[in-house]
Amino acid sequence: MPKGFVYLRDVDPTILQDVRYASANNFVGKTVPGYEAPECVLVKQAAEALKAVQAEFREKHLTLKVYDCYRPARAVKAFVDWAKLSDDPKAKSTFYPELEKRALFPGYIATVSSHSRGATVDLTIVPLDAAAERVTPPAGAATPCTAALGTRAPDTSIDMGTSFDCFDAKAHTNVSGLTPEQQANREMLVNVMSHHGFNNYEKERWHFTLENEPYPDTIFDFPIEPRK
């Protein structure tokens, strides 16, 4: 890794990791190029800031769970290439039930991602006693990412109103139609992350970037390798 990048596990091993693009549990349905290990890699400043966020949530008997951290540029290219392929009915029914696939690019899938700068993270909040770090979706019919908790694909997250990587207006951080609990959970996450220097991306409730990121103009493409 370039100087200044770290494995989150080395900074705070208590933060749960469910790195979706290192598995088939994602919208492309397979491991994404560049994800050679299910590890969260970040610039040290972002990892240290997450450690502070985690400490605050643990006082509330909650814990962070990250879905994605640094994302190699080759992975972003793979997403763009996928968006141009023929539609996948199972992916559509789960991840973008109300949209046509052609609407995902460039509306939801960008040619350049802030994740590739190493200071952006996708995450949620999980009860402190949640045991499973990685969740395998059940075989059979797919359920929409907008479905009610307990109906949509399983996850250990508290109820945020949608599952991760939901290409839908309901995944926007501030949107009508949420239950009071869902809205309160989103606001709690945004408030704590903001307190520790992270800005939320308004179209993805799970997406946060460190405000004072060290490489605001640099795109990296090194692979995520197993931690030694």
User: For residue 219, is it within any domain?
Assistant: no
| Domain-located, residue 222 | no
CA distances from 42 to 35, 54, 116 (A): 14, 15, 10
Q: Is the pLDDT of residue 54 over 60?
A: yes
Q: Which of 16-25, 79-88, 110-119 has the lowest mean pLDDT?
A: 79-88
What pLDDT was estimated at residue 139? 53
Q: Is residue 227 part of a domain?
A: no
**Average pLDDT over every residue of 160-179:** 96
In a domain, 191, yes or no: yes
Inside any domain, residue 44:
yes
Residue with structure tokens 């030694």? 228
Q: Is 216 within the bounds of a domain?
A: no
Domain containing 200: what range?
5-210
Distance of alpha carbon 79 from alpha carbon 56, whole angstroms? 34
User: Could you tell me which residues come within 8 angstroms of residue 69 by beta carbon, excluding any fewer than 6 positions away?
Assistant: 8, 19, 40, 41, 42, 46, 115, 118, 120, 121, 122
How much is the pLDDT for 135?
A: 56
Does any domain span residue 217? no
Domain assignment of residue 75, yes or no: yes
Residue 205 pLDDT greater than 80, yes or no: yes
Contacts for 26 with CB less than 8 Å, ≥ 6 apart:
20, 32, 165
CATH number at residue 45: 3.30.1380.10
Residue 38 identity (one-letter amino acid): P
| Stretch among 10-24, 41-55, 143-157 having the lowest mean pLDDT | 143-157
The count of structural domains within the chain is 1
Please give the model's pTM, rounded to 2 decimal places.
0.94
Q: What pLDDT is recorded for position 90?
A: 86
SS3 labels along 117-183: HCCEEEEEEEECCCCCCCCCCCCCCCCCCCCCCCCCCCCCCCCCCCCCCCCCHHHCCCCCCCCHHHH
- pLDDT tens digits along 85-109: 888 888 999 999 999 888 888 888 8
d(CA 228, CA 225): 9
Residue positions annotated with a catalytic role? 204
Lowest-confidence pick of 31-35, 81-85, 169-173, 199-203: 81-85
- For residue 137, pLDDT beyond 80: no
